[in-house]
Structure 1
């Protein structure tokens, strides 16, 4: 069962999101709140698998709540749910440790897919958001590719294989199946990759993989 904490300051939105998520028999909404501060408190109390947070909430906003939740309960994955698709919000969300970013206007199935992905240690960006992020990377300075290739030189051959699979959005369990190893071994590789690349989450690692040409657009 995937245990979810939901935070949004609009009661109607919370009710809709809860209905969508609980339509999946493997997802349970264990708490729902209207502010970021409450989200942090209940994350400490319930230790959910996933926190789904609106970006703009009164008091402590979703981005600040995401940062605090990731610090207080590192095993809780964070997915941002918002009406705002601005690239600046995406960058800030990734910086504070979120590994999911879904738009409220998206297909409801994306919400379920996103929660499932981040709960399994993967990452998820709504397709419309992912297209903009990758397009921006493609337009970026070519020097970023050289820098990324230099960064992955520190990785072992197996770690590069794992990074490439992280770049395609595979979870630890899926990677373990591809490599015929136990999931714990993959977690060890992913942790080493994060340390060597100086990244905080799977989305940032996937960007390095893309820039280093380990993953095709």
Structure 2
């Protein structure tokens, strides 16, 4: 779906969580599309690590799991989009475009627990990543002087 849409550019694919993280950190895509369940690292682990390295990027989960608890956990991990595989043909490209523009997207079948929860979780994750970066810069500056 991504490769056939002219508005998007597919920059990589992976078969495991660790492979996805390694490729994503190396290529720094604007939007990283992940499954929650992957061999090795799961989607939550990959999302947190990737967003810590690239806080201006966004993550979309593409999953069969339609659980409100997972949606909240995704939001807490900084994930900006949550698309169910059963509706991916209709919604994945839109979700990618929306989160790339700074918005959030939750599959409509998940109901009211959508964008506010995702946006709040995403903002908190970005703040914590920026706080860690600021602390690291301050530590390096102190070492330098």
Flag structure 2 segments of 5+ consecutive residues without an equivalent.
126-145
Residues 1:133 and 2:100 aligned together: no
Distance 1:53 1:66 in 2: 8
Distance 1:110 1:33 in 2: 21
8 A Cα contact 2:31 2:99, kept in partner: yes
Distance 1:107 1:68 in 2: 25
CA RMSD of aligned residues (A): 2.2
TM-score by length of 2: 0.77
8 A Cα contact 1:55 1:61, kept in partner: yes
- CA shift digits 1:105-150 (9 cap, x unpaired): 0151200100000111110001011x1526xxxxxxxxxxxxxxxx
Flag structure 1 segments of 5+ consecutive residues without an equivalent.
1-19, 135-165, 168-193, 205-217
Q: 1:201 aligns with which of 119, 122, 130?
A: 122
8 A Cα contact 2:80 2:103, kept in partner: yes
Structure number with greater CO (CA < 8 Å, separation at least 6) is: 2
Distance 2:79 2:15 in 1: 19
Displacement, 1:22? 2.2
TM-score by length of 1: 0.53
Q: 2:87 aligns with which of 85, 88, 106?
A: 106
Match of 2:2 in 1: 21
8 A Cα contact 1:50 1:78, kept in partner: yes
- CA shift digits 1:150-185 (9 cap, x unpaired): xxxxxxxxxxxxxxxx96xxxxxxxxxxxxxxxxxx
Q: Which has the larger radius of gyration?
A: 1
Displacement, 1:23? 2.4
8 A Cα contact 1:123 1:203, kept in partner: no
Distance 1:107 1:99 in 2: 16
Displacement, 1:33? 0.1
Distance 1:88 1:65 in 2: 18
The 5-angstrom pairing of residues 1-217 of structure 1 reads 20-129=1-110, 131-133=111-113, 199-201=120-122
Q: Could you say what secondary structure the match of 2:13 adopts?
A: strand
Distance 2:49 2:85 in 1: 23
Count of aligned pairs: 123
8 A Cα contact 1:123 1:202, kept in partner: no
